[in-house]
Structure 1
Amino acid sequence: MRTSVTLTAAALFIALASGCASRQPAPAPQANYQGTQYGVVQSIDTVRAQSQTSGGGAIVGGVIGGLIGHQIDSGHRKAAATGVGVVAGALIGNEIEKNNGGMRDIYRVIVRTDYGNVRSFDYAQLDNLRVGDRVRIENNQLYRW
């Protein structure tokens, strides 16, 4: 009796364990941008971009919002008001920092690689790059070739 219980338990374990083992499909091939690629500058466009924030405005806004929220009511409402104040202050502070940075122009360089892929690169300044230039791409940076 004991042997049949052990044998049944082992068979059940093997059946369950084999049900978990499934063959995963092979991952789809992705473009490998690690090596050196060559291409031609297809276009250069000026794009207006929002300035990036450092997070300082969100931190300061969160602290101020938390202090203001903490002054409201008492008990459970006080904790909720403090939490809401922190979140609202952080969002407002981040927007203020973003708006103070303003919009800036960047250059979007579109490159068609020798393999037919199209890649884009954003730069604050163009270093003597023109449409039709032959370029080398290394570590996601463009170099005239």
Structure 2
Amino acid sequence: MHVRSLSWAAVVAALTLASCTSAPSSSPVTSSTQGVTVVQTGQVTEVKDVTRHDGRSTGLGSFIGSILGGIAGSNIGSGTGSAVAGIGGAIAGGMAGQHAEQSNSSRNSTELTVRLDNGEARTFAVAPEDNFRVGETVRVSTNNGVVRVTR
């Protein structure tokens, strides 16, 4: 009788442990101590180089360019000609300074459009040196809002 009670206990324990296991999930989700990572695959449908301007201008380039252009222009000629040359130099210097400031505030990136396996199309900004090609299969990993596109 004592042997039978041990057998029943073993059967109950085995059934309890079997019910704790779950079937493997078909969705590509990986758990870690750093959160949940969702991995999707897709195909690159477009690769486009983009130059972005951040739109911020301090005006410092225009200001310095105007001063330098005004000084340089006023050294041309004498009298009224010097004043006119100074004004022209200030205007040209201001425009040149503004252009120089804007060109320093732009950055180049590459936009990558990917058609995911679920049919959704998404566009990502990637570094220009990554050299993705149209038709290439990629993995899109998302972890805590941070997205990475890799081969």
Q: Please give the range of the TM-score, normalised by the shorter of the 2 chains.
A: 0.3 to 0.5
Q: Which has the larger radius of gyration?
A: 2
Q: Under a length normalisation based on structure 2, what TM-score does the superposition of the two structures give?
A: 0.37
Bigger share in strand: 2
